[in-house]
Structure 1
């Protein structure tokens, strides 16, 4: 099927390449007032004041001053986008304008690169699409469309599209930059260069390499790797053909929840770090506890290393072409990506006083000792004073292997402008096709660690008062009871979507509508005891080869290889959008839009009761996708260095997802949720450029609630977790001939930790400062300080209320990090 898509894509190009025409495609032209047109998630690139959509473009120069340590720190500066990145690179969570963030990843907002999705589904469990994206000097700009026609011009993106666009050599020159972490471990080199090879041929190439411990102390180089991207463009009189490629191999740590202390009340909590452990810079990761032992997908011994963390490997090649032929503008985008990687990390499920866990796992008189590290074998005589905090953590060790997330995507469209009466009718027809593999293997085991900072965490052993070990090398079990989360996926998702639009512009008024019909075919097999039907997920296995079966070895996680579950179902849904734009004057416009879109459930309904695993069919067709309905009313203004966009919005969302939260007793669980959500609010975007002063920013006010919940009807009317009333970002800057100074402010008001609406997470404002000194026209020194005032910002807790012992599991944003970048342009 992949080759069928490829043949269908190339055939039209063979016909149109030699053709001649008088003009270039509109998407390649600047607007009349000089501002570049916007082309992401719309039928045809045009001046944003002539389009009934909410769009933004964050340009490379704007991104550079942010000093972002991860892609999430860049995307949080886009108006309307709520980004929960927790300081890690990849597997962050993104949503837009009050659409729910009940699970992981980016369910309703598609992440794209060069106009095509990185993964067909941006919220794959354990493997978010942003794992396979990096921002470097190749980046030209990030275009974003929120709501609107995103529902009909991209599949699985009813909330919007975030599109990372690369430089293409149209501006000759390049740069080389070296970045050094001033108070944390980072050594990074970036370089890029673009030029014309002839009057009709140009290229661009660039990339980065980095190595270092990173912004949190782990005791080893947790960041290691880089990427290379290149493209070459052939320009014709009537269009262009571009071929591009990407090679990415990058390793970053999988930061997860850690123990934190809380006093006060649910309405006014006071969070603090445990003694000897700093929430802003420490983690449970350490080279003392990095070895992972379990069974592989063939039930044979497998050894992994937590230091591999989130390892992203991508090899991709793509083609982007656009031509004018006989009055039609025809564009073709196609890309094949070979994607694999790992996600290894600790996922804590309980934190408690060490003496209590000694009793839990070792019985009365249970004895603790170090299993790893320089004190391996040494008894812990006084658990209550261990590391100054007396805490231990029972944790899942998650070893997720992405064997193949390969995908082939193709988008072919044709547009034409017709003169009808006194107006212009723009018609567009297109076809999108994709094939997305999900071939992954999960092995979850359990272990016991202490809580110690500076990258010195160790695994802990337990034995009974009579000396009988209940752990082995710090492992409580080489699986989870019942074989939970010991899984293998081998599933393919095929998506086909014809789409079309019409837009009629008469004077100052433009009226348009678009429609898309997504059809999906899901086929494959699953392995795991959670499929039921008598399947067994644990068995005795001699992990250490000593000829005896220890207590942890007695319930080793295995796959029921002889009894796979089938997945074989089809689905389809219709998306549509209609809007009207009124250009009041050259400098301002108003618009209104209504849209209905869908999002396929993808892997979130696998290993749930939604599928009959004997036949592979859905038990309820409604499980196949979720529906989003949105209304927008907007005002746009642009004149004399001032840009102002204000959009009122409302949304209704049907949601099926997996959510990590806690039981009433505080224990951690993964829950299947079936819900309805409602949200309304207003989004503001502003830009000011006057003399040496400039300012860009935005704010989004949202009033959201859970409209219905199948399992928890009492949640109806509650505010969704992590949904603040207000999120904002603001970057003022002063630019002189040789000096630029400024600051980036990002923040949010308070929100609830969980959907029970008890414990509140305090509001915050993070300040990130920067200064650029241009010693010469080519040489620049930049210093960035993120979280300038070293604020403690707790952005997540798994528990929904303060427990009696005041001990929670949660995450905080990074503390103060400072870096210096020396850049030479040529």
Structure 2
């Protein structure tokens, strides 16, 4: 009891502070959520019960949807370094876990991944979204999500009822479900990276307090360089979450809070040498730069001097990386009223912070870049590092490889990604004839802020690994500086001076929804409807908008009273000439399915669904918005629709289970790519395939496995018809994951294998990204009943695996900008159960 009291007292200041921080921010729109509508969530997580994106929790074999669940024990074994590495173990999910602990690209069942984030997939925490839209620029949902010892399970629904039980998630829902104190106890864990920089302390504890009250609190703190060698501690911060539940006859009330303040590194595409041909490429690390262990960051390149959102000089620290500051409070209540089970979820979230990362716009020989930017006879000097000011006499030996990087600093200030969500629903079961009818009615309302400043700059950086690259100055043949302290321009000079932007737009979503499901004997048939309507309102600023909005000015950025060449390339925001944003949308989603429980261990199902996704900030600076009125030039641009058909079988008995599902999808998409300014998408995609998931378990040995085969094509392209018939970028035909485990008394040994076949880097279908598989090995030693020691090796064989490439074909110099999974990282963890 003393431990409970101490933990609760520790959490009180945080629980009281979170509402104050949240209240200090404007209320924002609430995204959609998943749904257990009964007390299923109040019990310990079970693989055979569906609680996410359905009307009521029920046995998986009685549902016409494709579902999966990873328990906390499963997560321990796969040695994840990010939530994206957890998600890649869910069948049907394509999770590109190469961006660090956030900014991952996530898709499902052949739905396109034309840009970043998870456009058609919603990430949730305890049944509510992290943000309304999973692909906000510099605000991908996983940036604001951390897994720790407080996670009880990770549940997912693919396709099916996700279209109607959550907004903006026609592809599916992934939900991290927290422990809520049903089981007394907890754990404290110390983790240390043996071959990489990670020092982390996790703690969780929960239990009953008497009088129908129970609680859970958990979180972590950590510090270290992270999985790659960047020259400084890039991962530092922590999280704490708490909930307090009061149970009463027929229901409960739960209060919860979350505080996250964490800095992590965003790994952008990095340079790699590619030999061979587009169809048969061979990727090899460049001298002095290991593509699996290094990144384009350095202890000698930490300052970004720029103008802020009010055009004032500001200095930002690249060590901030992805820096979410999240404070959330919420309430969940369930009660039985007149035979209806009523549940309401509410969450108010404040999200601020920064996203700052290096992105290579181009890589070439140092002499070639010097001549291109400074003219014939241009010279180079070190601007930082151990030899500042020294002339580089042999540019062909710079960094050990003779290469120079034209670098864009993606510097974005997150003024607010805050949100306000409320989801109210009620359901009941009525006997009708020889069967029973389950009815559900609900209403969802949300507000989502998108308030950001894009403050990009351009500099020159040598290509050198181990976090030791220096910034480089360029001088013309007369000795006149072309750069200033390594900075070529105080804007996106290497992107055509684009993208100095300010967004202040609010998105409102409303959605009444309902479902009916009739169960007669072994057969269940049902359908659901959802009507989404909403609007976007606000202002945007940017030279990209055209008109008399200037792009560049001259300004003394270092205060020395002189204007250099770099200081004539200063990007400003046209604060006197904003463009309005004011448009609305509405659409109907529906889903219907039938499930036949053929026998106790076996069921078959079929489902048809039509859902949609509202476009958000990626629409704002594109051709779809009239910058004079704020209205849409084409109403189609507001909503992208997804049509899906699926059917399959489910089998479960003691020690064995198998799910096999065939699927077909038609997806519309309008989008914009920020790493290729001015590049827009207006397409229709078709995909079909099969996904499988199964497990065999015994007292000594267990095996779980999943695989997805997908055949996807671009069916219509309104902008570039030459891509019709091509395979969408980065869409592999086959992805798979498997985990095997052997239990020998107090020792557990096993390996988790995740793999993919080859795919095309871009939609022109030229450069191939080779297939690969990573092995994540684990060993756990139960020293006593309460103490265990775990050794985990992520990517144990140090495999190079590429998830994306900015280049569509091998360039003349053979250097491709690609993003690889992390190389081998091995950790040792000591856990004490409390």
Q: What TM-score do the two structures reach when normalised by structure 1?
A: 0.95
Aligned to 2:697: 689
Aligned to 1:760: 768
Aligned counterpart in structure 2 of residue 27 of structure 1, from 15, 40, 51: 40
Distance 1:806 1:483, change over 3 A: closer
Alignment of 1:405-554 (within 5 A): 405-481=417-493, 483-554=497-568
- The structural deviation recorded for 1:610 is 1.0
Deviations 1:609-653 (Å, cap 9, x if unpaired)?
211122111111111010000000110000011110000000000
Aligned counterpart in structure 1 of residue 86 of structure 2, from 52, 74, 78: 74
Aligned to 1:744: 752
Alignment of 1:571-720 (within 5 A): 571-659=585-673, 669=677, 671-720=679-728
**Is residue 2:573 matched to residue 1:559?**
yes
Alignment of 1:110-509 (within 5 A): 110-481=122-493, 483-509=497-523
Aligned to 1:553, what secondary structure does the other structure show? Answer: helix
Q: Matches of 1:34 and 1:721 in 2, distance apart? A: 36
Q: Matches of 2:40 and 2:507 in 1, distance apart? A: 31
Q: Matches of 1:140 and 1:781 in 2, distance apart? A: 20
- The structural deviation recorded for 1:37 is 2.2
Aligned to 1:771: 779
Deviations 1:570-614 (Å, cap 9, x if unpaired)?
110110000000000010100000000010011110011211122
- The structural deviation recorded for 1:737 is 2.7
Deviations 1:116-137 (Å, cap 9, x if unpaired)?
1100001001210100000000
- The structural deviation recorded for 1:362 is 1.5
- The structural deviation recorded for 1:669 is 4.7
Q: Matches of 1:148 and 1:602 in 2, distance apart? A: 23
- The structural deviation recorded for 1:735 is 1.9
Structure 2 unmatched runs, 5+: 1-22, 31-36
The answer (yes or no) to whether the contact 1:26–1:46 under 8 Å persists in 2 is: no
Aligned to 2:33: none
Q: Matches of 1:755 and 1:138 in 2, distance apart? A: 41
Q: Matches of 1:321 and 1:646 in 2, distance apart? A: 36
- The structural deviation recorded for 1:26 is 5.5
The answer (yes or no) to whether the contact 1:660–1:798 under 8 Å persists in 2 is: no
Q: Matches of 2:647 and 2:488 in 1, distance apart? A: 56
- The structural deviation recorded for 1:476 is 0.9
Deviations 1:355-392 (Å, cap 9, x if unpaired)?
10111112111100111111110111011111221000
Deviations 1:670-721 (Å, cap 9, x if unpaired)?
5111111000000001111112111112000000001111121010000011
Show structure 1 runs of 4+ deviating over 2 A.
24-31, 33-37, 480-483
**Is residue 2:817 matched to residue 1:809?**
yes
- The structural deviation recorded for 1:804 is 2.2
Deviations 1:335-361 (Å, cap 9, x if unpaired)?
000111111011111000111011111
Q: Matches of 1:88 and 1:168 in 2, distance apart? A: 29
Q: Please say which of residues 544-553 and 375-384 is displaced more in the overlay.
A: 544-553
Q: Matches of 2:492 and 2:418 in 1, distance apart? A: 30
Q: Matches of 1:36 and 1:654 in 2, distance apart? A: 34
- The structural deviation recorded for 1:312 is 0.9
Distance 1:141 1:351, change over 3 A: same
Q: Matches of 1:500 and 1:237 in 2, distance apart? A: 26
Distance 1:35 1:789, change over 3 A: closer
Q: What TM-score do the two structures reach when normalised by structure 2?
A: 0.94
The answer (yes or no) to whether the contact 1:26–1:44 under 8 Å persists in 2 is: no
Q: Matches of 1:28 and 1:439 in 2, distance apart? A: 34
The answer (yes or no) to whether the contact 1:483–1:558 under 8 Å persists in 2 is: no
Aligned to 1:47: 59
Q: Matches of 1:524 and 1:401 in 2, distance apart? A: 18
Distance 1:26 1:200, change over 3 A: closer
Aligned to 2:796, what secondary structure does the other structure show? Answer: coil
Q: Matches of 2:422 and 2:455 in 1, distance apart? A: 34
- The structural deviation recorded for 1:299 is 0.8
Q: Please say which of residues 262-271 and 776-785 is displaced more in the overlay.
A: 262-271
The answer (yes or no) to whether the contact 1:287–1:307 under 8 Å persists in 2 is: no
Q: Please say which of residues 747-756 and 691-700 is displaced more in the overlay.
A: 691-700
Structure 1 unmatched runs, 5+: 10-23, 662-667
Aligned to 2:20: none
Deviations 1:473-493 (Å, cap 9, x if unpaired)?
111111135641100000000
The answer (yes or no) to whether the contact 1:675–1:709 under 8 Å persists in 2 is: yes
Q: Matches of 1:53 and 1:808 in 2, distance apart? A: 41
Deviations 1:31-69 (Å, cap 9, x if unpaired)?
9x9865211100111101101000011110000111111
- The structural deviation recorded for 1:659 is 2.9
Q: Matches of 1:262 and 1:105 in 2, distance apart? A: 26
Aligned to 2:719, what secondary structure does the other structure show? Answer: coil
Aligned counterpart in structure 2 of residue 726 of structure 1, from 727, 730, 734: 734
- The structural deviation recorded for 1:763 is 0.6
- The structural deviation recorded for 1:325 is 2.0
Q: Matches of 1:286 and 1:34 in 2, distance apart? A: 46
Aligned to 1:795: 803
Aligned to 2:11: none
Q: Matches of 1:729 and 1:817 in 2, distance apart? A: 19
The answer (yes or no) to whether the contact 2:545–2:621 under 8 Å persists in 1 is: yes
Aligned counterpart in structure 2 of residue 820 of structure 1, from 818, 828, 832: 828
Q: Matches of 1:137 and 1:199 in 2, distance apart? A: 26
The answer (yes or no) to whether the contact 2:235–2:262 under 8 Å persists in 1 is: yes
Q: Matches of 1:88 and 1:133 in 2, distance apart? A: 12
Q: Matches of 1:529 and 1:538 in 2, distance apart? A: 9
- The structural deviation recorded for 1:323 is 1.4
Deviations 1:96-123 (Å, cap 9, x if unpaired)?
0000000100100000001011000010
The answer (yes or no) to whether the contact 1:358–1:368 under 8 Å persists in 2 is: yes
Aligned length: 803
Distance 1:415 1:490, change over 3 A: same
The answer (yes or no) to whether the contact 2:253–2:333 under 8 Å persists in 1 is: yes
- The structural deviation recorded for 1:28 is 5.0
- The structural deviation recorded for 1:660 is 5.7
Deviations 1:70-117 (Å, cap 9, x if unpaired)?
111111111110001215011111000000000100100000001011
Deviations 1:272-325 (Å, cap 9, x if unpaired)?
011111111111111201100010111110110111100011000111111122
